[in-house]
Amino acid sequence: MTGLGYTVPAVAAVAAVCGWELVIARTGLFRRPSYWITIAIVFAFQIPVDGWLTKLSAPVVEYAPGQLTGLRFPWNIPVEDFLFGFALVTSALLLWELQGRRHGDREPKGELR
Amino acid sequence: MDHYQYLILMGACLAVTAPLELLGARVYRQPARLARAVLPMAVVFLVWDAFAIAGRVWTYSPRYVTGVRLPFRIPVEELVFFLVIPVCGILTYACVQAMGARWRARRAQRAQRPEPAGRAVRS
């Protein structure tokens, strides 16, 4: 593997998840305020958790320097990690929504969705 | 203890999000739905992980992981990560939805009976 072995798949993962929702699944997830509030909360908690894993002083996970852009923010978190996290959580939420639809969502209609 | 750093962090994520279930998330109470949402994505991300590990895109400090490895040299901590983080995300989402629903219900209730008790007595 040469070049941006993390950056390229991370961008591709975000594109794939967005494409999945917008073209195939069409759950309406991206139109729901509760989804975007969730993403904001997830990112907020990703900073301490991921920050701990990637801190350069005592890293749990280390990245090959040539495989990512090298942009690290905040702290030492590679920016690619946020793409990774977005793709991971959004895809799980998509499946959760699809499962709910299949099982007949028990939640009442007309709520903040 | 250092070898458990990654696992402890994952345990902390579960602990911090656990109260969301009681705040109305109702996620753990739908175990089949949760499994069907989390497990397929865990497999997909473990495949990505296996490629990245094989390509040495990322490595794990032997000091902060248990050293238990799954096939394709994937640290067991990564499997835990791909289960825990989506569960935390779903718990958050379900809780935000439940709180939103409660807030709307309360607002609708208030809008329906803004008038003094006089009218209510008649009915």
A78-92 average pLDDT score:
96
Predicted confidence at residue A88, as pLDDT, reads: 98
- Between CA A78 and CA A70 the distance in angstroms is 7
CB B38 within 8 A of CB B86: yes
Average per-residue pLDDT for chain B: 92
| ipTM for this model | 0.88
Residues of B in contact with A38 (CB under 8 A): 89, 92-93, 96
Predicted confidence at residue B118, as pLDDT, reads: 54
- Between CA A97 and CA B78 the distance in angstroms is 25
Residue A46: pLDDT over 90: yes
Reduced to 3 DSSP states, what percent helix, strand and coil does chain B have, rounded to the nearest 5?
75, 5, 20
Split at pLDDT 50, 70, 90, the class of A16 is: very high
Which has the minimum average pLDDT: A13-22, A48-57, B64-73, B107-116? B107-116
Nearest 5°: phi and psi at A7? -60, -45
- B71 reaches A (C-beta below 8 A): no
- A63 reaches B (C-beta below 8 A): yes
Predicted confidence at residue B123, as pLDDT, reads: 47
Report the Cα B89 to chain-centroid distance in Å.
Answer: 4
For residue B48, how many other CB atoms are within 10 A of its CB? Answer: 19
Split at pLDDT 50, 70, 90, the class of B113 is: confident
Predicted confidence at residue B116, as pLDDT, reads: 61
Give SS3 for B58. strand
Kindly state the percentage of chain A with pLDDT values over 90: 76
Predicted confidence at residue A101, as pLDDT, reads: 75
Residue A23: pLDDT over 60: yes
The structure tokens 């305020």 sit at A33
pLDDT tens digit string along B83-97?
999 999 999 999 999
Q: Decide which of B117 and B3 is more confident.
A: B3
Residue A1: pLDDT over 60: no
For residue B79, how many other CB atoms are within 10 A of its CB? Answer: 16
- B38 reaches A (C-beta below 8 A): yes
Task: Report CB contact under 8 Å: A96, B37.
Answer: yes
